[in-house]
C-alpha cells in the first residue's frame, strides 16, 4: 500500500526513531539504502494500519503504543552480512541521494578525477549556503564526533563549523591523547567502537600513520582522516586542489613547488597523490636534506607519469611555478633531536625577495600554522592565498559531510 502525501510528510518531518529502536538504518558498507528504505516504508505502513500503532492526526506524529511487538524490525541485516545501524528519519528534510562512492575518507589515492570534479561542484554549492542568510538544516539530527589526538585549530574548527552550518551537532574532544581513555591504555579500536555508538560520523586526527585505516576497518559509520601522523591529510589535499583551481583557473598543466618539511609533512604527501590525477603536472621539491621528500612519493609520481625535480634553489623554482606551497619545519616530528630541527629550520623563507621573482599569476599557499617560513610582510600581496585556502576548507568539509551522510 502506497503512503499518502500527508502520511509521508508525517514520516519525513515528525517520526523520530532513536538508536534503541533501530527501525531505519544508515547505509553501511554493502547496504542498498534505497531498497531498504522501500522495505521499511512497507513495514511501517503495515504498522500504521495495525492495532499496534496509531497516528495522532491533531499533532501529526506517530505513536507506537506497543513497541515491544515490533522487535522483528530491529537491526535488519545488510548485504555485507552485518547489521545496519539506526538513522533518525527527522535528520533531513531533503531526500537521500545516490550513495557517495566512498564509505570513508582515508587517503588521497581513493579519489579519481571524476569524483574530484563532483566534490568541487558540491563545495561551490556549500559556499552559496554558507553565504546565504538562511541557515541550512540538511544535517539536522546528525551528530559528528571529532576525535583529535594531536593539536588542531583550522581542521577541527572548520569541521565543527561545517557540521553546524548544515544543521548538525558536534561531540568533541580536543586532546584525546591526554584527556580520553587512551591515557588509561584503551586501544584505538575500542575507542572507535564506543564513540560510533554516540555519533553518526567520526573525524579523527591521530599521531600514528595508518591509524585512520585501523579506525575505518573497525567502525560501521564513516571515518574521515583529519591527519594521521606523518601519513596523510586527505581533506587538506582536497581543499588545496580546490584552491588551486579557484586561484589559477585550471588544474591541468600546473607547475607546483613543494617547499619545507617534505619528509614529515602529511599535507604535501597527500597533495602530491591528488594532483597526480591531472595532466601535464610538474612538481618541484625544495627541502633541507634532513627532510627531503621520501622515495615512496617519488616512485608513485613516476609510475603515474608525473614529472618531478629536486632543487635547492628556491628562487629558481619560484620563478617557474604557478603555485608555491610552503610548509613549516615540524619540530614535533624530530623528538629529542632538536639539533636536527634547528639545522633544517629557516633555510627556505618566502619573503619580499621571493615575491619579486614570482610570476604575477602565481599564488603562495600554506596549510598553516606558519612560524617564520613566510614573513608577515607577504600577507598583503594578492598572491598570498593561504587564508583564502583555509576558508575553502570549510566548503570542502561541508561537502564531504553532506556526501558521506546523505549521498549526492
Catalytic residue at 184? yes
Q: Rounded to an integer, what distance in angstroms lies between the CA atom of residue 34 and that of residue 40? A: 10
Check 27, 205, 345, 397 and give the catalytic one.
Answer: 205
DSSP string, 300-364: HHHHTT-EEEEES-HHHHHTT-SEEEE----GGGSTT-HHHHHHHTTSS-B-HHHHHHS-TT-EE
Tell me the three cell numbers of residue 21: 529502536
Which 3 state secondary structure label does DSSP give 128? helix
Q: Which of 146, 155, 235, 243 is catalytic?
A: 155
The C-alpha cell at 260 is: 619545507
- How far is it, in rounded angstroms, from Cα 214 to Cα 212? 5
- For residue 373, the cross-strand partners are none
As beta bridge partners, residue 310 has 285
Active site residue 205: yes
Spatial distance between the Cα atoms of 212 and 223, rounded to a whole number of angstroms: 7
Q: Which of 26, 27, 165, 233 is catalytic?
A: 233
Strand partners, 85: none
The cell 619545519 sits on which residue?
A: 329
For 68, counting Cβ atoms within 10 Å of its Cβ (0-12 exposed, 13-18 middle, 19+ buried), the class is exposed
Catalytic residue among 18, 128, 131, 184: 184
Indicate which residue of 60, 75, 154, 193 is catalytic: 154
Catalytically active residues, by annotation: 154-155, 184, 205, 233
Amino acid at each position: 500500500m502506497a503512503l499518502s502525501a500527508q502520511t509521508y510528510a508525517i514520516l519525513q518531518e515528525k517520526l523520530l526513531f532513536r538508536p534503541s529502536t533501530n527501525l531505519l538504518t544508515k547505509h553501511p558498507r554493502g547496504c542498498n539504502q534505497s531498497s531498504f528504505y522501500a522495505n521499511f516504508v512497507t513495514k511501517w505502513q503495515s504498522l500504521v494500519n495495525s492495532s499496534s500503532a496509531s497516528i495522532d492526526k491533531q499533532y501529526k506524529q506517530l505513536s507506537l503504543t506497543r513497541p515491544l511487538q515490533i522487535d522483528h524490525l530491529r537491526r535488519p541485516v545488510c548485504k555485507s552480512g552485518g547489521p545496519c545501524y539506526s538513522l533518525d528519519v527527522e535528520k533531513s528534510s531533503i531526500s537521500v541521494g545516490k550513495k557517495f562512492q566512498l564509505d570513508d575518507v582515508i587517503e588521497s589515492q581513493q579519489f579519481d578525477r571524476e569524483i574530484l570534479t563532483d566534490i568541487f561542484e558540491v563545495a561551490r554549492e556549500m559556499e552559496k549556503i554558507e553565504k546565504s542568510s538562511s541557515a541550512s538544516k540538511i544535517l539536522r539530527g546528525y551528530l559528528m564526533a571529532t576525535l583529535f589526538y594531536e593539536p588542531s585549530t583550522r581542521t577541527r574548527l572548520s569541521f565543527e563549523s561545517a557540521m553546524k552550518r548544515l544543521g548538525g551537532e558536534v561531540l568533541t574532544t580536543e586532546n584525546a591523547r591526554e584527556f580520553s581513555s587512551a591515557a588509561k591504555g584503551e586501544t584505538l579500536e575500542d575507542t572507535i567502537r564506543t564513540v560510533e555508538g554516540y555519533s553518526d560520523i567520526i573525524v579523527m586526527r591521530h599521531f600514528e600513520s595508518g591509524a585512520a585505516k585501523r579506525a575505518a576497518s573497525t567502525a560501521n559509520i564513516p571515518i574521515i582522516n583529519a591527519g594521521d601522523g606523518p601519513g596523510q591529510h586527505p581533506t587538506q589535499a582536497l581543499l588545496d586542489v580546490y584552491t588551486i583551481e579557484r586561484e589559477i583557473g585550471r588544474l591541468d598543466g600546473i607547475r607546483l613547488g613543494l617547499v619545507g618539511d617534505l619528509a614529515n609533512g602529511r599535507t604535501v604527501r597527500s597533495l602530491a597523490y591528488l594532483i597526480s590525477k591531472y595532466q601535464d603536472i610538474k612538481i618541484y621539491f625544495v627541502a633541507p636534506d634532513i627532510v627531503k621528500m621520501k622515495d615512496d612519493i617519488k616512485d608513485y609520481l613516476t609510475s603515474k607519469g608525473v614529472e618531478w625535480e629536486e632543487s635547492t634553489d628556491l628562487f629558481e623554482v619560484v620563478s617557474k611555478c604557478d603555485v608555491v606551497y610552503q610548509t613549516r619545519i615540524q619540530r614535533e616530528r624530530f623528538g629529542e633531536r632538536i639539533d636536527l630541527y634547528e639545522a633544517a629550520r629557516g633555510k627556505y623563507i618566502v619573503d619580499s625577495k621571493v615575491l619579486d621573482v614570482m610570476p604575477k599569476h602565481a599564488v603562495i599557499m600554506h596549510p598553516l600554522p606558519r612560524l617564520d617560513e613566510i614573513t608577515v610582510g607577504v600577507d598583503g600581496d594578492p598572491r598570498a592565498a593561504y587564508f583564502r585556502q583555509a576558508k575553502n576548507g570549510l566548503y570542502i568539509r561541508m561537502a564531504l559531510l553532506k556526501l558521506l551522510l546523505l549521498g549526492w
